[in-house]
Amino acid sequence: MTFSLTHTDTQSGARAGALHTAHGSIQTPIFMPVGTAGSVKAVHQRELEHDINAEIILGNTYHLYLRPGIELLEKAGGLHQFIGWKRPILTDSGGYQVYSLGDNRKITEEGVVFKSHIDGSSHTFTPENVMDIQRSIGADIIMAFDECTPYPCEYAYAKESMAMTHRWLTRCIHRIDTTPPKYGYEQTLFPIVQGSVYRDLREQSAEFIASQQQDGNAIGGLSVGEPHEMMYDMTSLVCGILPKDKPRYLMGVGTPENILECIALGIDMFDCVMPTRNARNGMLFTSEGIINIRNEKWKNDLSPIDPALGGYVSATYSRAYLRHLVISKEILGAQIASIHNLTFYLWLVREARTRIIDGTFSTWKNQMVKKVTQRL
């Protein structure tokens, strides 16, 4: 995997570049739709490709490991083949879900023992087997196995956890370096910066991660409940330390505003369940602001959802029709809203990229933040 940084904004840390993988190139900054268990919820793969124009999607190792399971994924020739998706896939390490979904988890130096949220069965994740699992899933980008600390988190715990995440990283790198790719194409490991909301820990962690000289780096443990200003402060600090010539991925972020602000701080890659989860609740992100489609005010609005985006569903279906579907609990309502919100997120990062390239990013970003945060 190679990354070429092609443009840097003069008034902010924003950058434009391209990430080249065995399954194609990704123009950065990019947003990665979350395909939890082998499906971006309510969205067909061809809609991801043709309507949303997603350039890479994310799979959750925890979910995929439990269901459909690694044996079947290997039999299928990996997740790409299993779900019919030809473009790149990034998998998380499963750590976040183990902590948030797994029951009775027990963290030791060796790894994490947890019980499945589906059937209560007992499982162990270690830095080594999580690398093996992601190899078997066939991810183009593999995430290091880390501990994602909650917010708030005591300093002492955050420090010890960070140190263990670093020791785990050494084991992850060793495992990746001593095992071949599973399906013949390159699989690239991204280490993860931790350190909670403590500046000295984040600095230490960023320096350690940078020193590993991997082909891309990630920032974890943010967007877990801390104030946005704190997230921006940590992101800014870490971006100042991580190498400029490698892609930077801010995990689990975020709102359209978060994404714009963090692009300005030097982030290249994002993922978040928000566009699809909120879609299923009737919350739409548009180029003019936020719409709660369940509100009476949209009942007779026969105008398209957001024609500015150019996407099929956003330009074709009316707000009144979508409202009717959502109110009537029709599955098609969730489908349309999900495609729309993802179309918006991908539009947003592509617009940002265009503005970075033409040198108008900072002005545009400030205007756009006002728009995307207002409720229509």
Q: Which residues on adjacent β-strands are paired with residue 57?
A: 89
| 241 binds its own copies per the rule CB under 8 A | no
What does DSSP assign to residue 212? T
Counting beta carbons within 10 angstroms of the beta carbon of residue 202, is it exposed (0 to 12), middle (13 to 18) or buried (19 or more)?
buried
What does DSSP assign to residue 117? T
Structure tokens at 203: 């600095």
| 281 binds its own copies per the rule CB under 8 A | no
Task: Give whichever of 5 and 332 is closer to its own copies, judged by the CB atom.
Answer: 332
| 83 binds its own copies per the rule CB under 8 A | yes
| 325 binds its own copies per the rule CB under 8 A | yes
**Restricting to residues 161-180, which ones interact with its own copies according to CB under 8 A?**
none
Exactly one of 72, 155, 179, 288 binds its own copies (CB under 8 A); that residue is 72
Q: Which residues contact 374 (CB under 8 A, 6 or more apart)?
A: 288, 289, 290
| 328 binds its own copies per the rule CB under 8 A | yes
Q: Which one from 92, 140, 268, 306 is the annotated catalytic residue?
A: 92
Q: Which residues contact 333 (CB under 8 A, 6 or more apart)?
A: 282, 322, 325, 326
Stretch that binds its own copies, among 13-21, 131-139, 200-208, 322-330 (CB under 8 A): 322-330
Exactly one of 2, 108, 300, 366 binds its own copies (CB under 8 A); that residue is 300
Size of the site for its own copies (CB under 8 A): 38
Exactly one of 163, 320, 369, 376 binds its own copies (CB under 8 A); that residue is 320
Q: How far is the CB of 76 from its own copies (least distance, A)?
A: 6
| 295 binds its own copies per the rule CB under 8 A | no
Give dist(CA 233, CA 244) in Å, integer. 18
Can you point out the beta strands (E) in the chain? 2-8, 15-21, 24-28, 30-32, 57-59, 89-91, 103-107, 112-115, 122-125, 141-143, 188-190, 192-193, 217-219, 248-250, 269-271, 283-286, 289-292
Stretch that binds its own copies, among 10-18, 192-200, 298-306, 353-361 (CB under 8 A): 298-306
Residue type, 101: L
Structure tokens at 366: 């400030």
| 67 binds its own copies per the rule CB under 8 A | yes
| 357 binds its own copies per the rule CB under 8 A | no
How far from the centroid of its chain's Cα atoms is residue 255's Cα? 12
Q: Which one from 9, 146, 268, 271 is the annotated catalytic residue?
A: 271
Find out whether 300 and 320 touch, Cβ atoms under 8 Å: yes
Exactly one of 321, 344, 345, 361 binds its own copies (CB under 8 A); that residue is 321
| 215 catalytic residue (yes or no) | no
Q: What is the dihedral of CA 84, 312, 376, 291, to 10 degrees?
A: -30
| 332 binds its own copies per the rule CB under 8 A | yes
Task: Give whichever of 148 and 291 is closer to its own copies, judged by the CB atom.
Answer: 291
Q: How far is the CB of 324 from its own copies (least distance, A)?
A: 4
**Restricting to residues 115-154, which ones interact with its own copies according to CB under 8 A?**
none
Find out whether 145 and 94 touch, Cβ atoms under 8 Å: yes
| 82 binds its own copies per the rule CB under 8 A | yes
Residue numbers at the binding site for its own copies (CB under 8 A): 37-39, 41-44, 46, 63, 67-68, 72, 75-76, 82-84, 299-300, 302, 312-313, 316-318, 320-321, 324-325, 327-328, 330-336
Catalytic residues: 92, 271
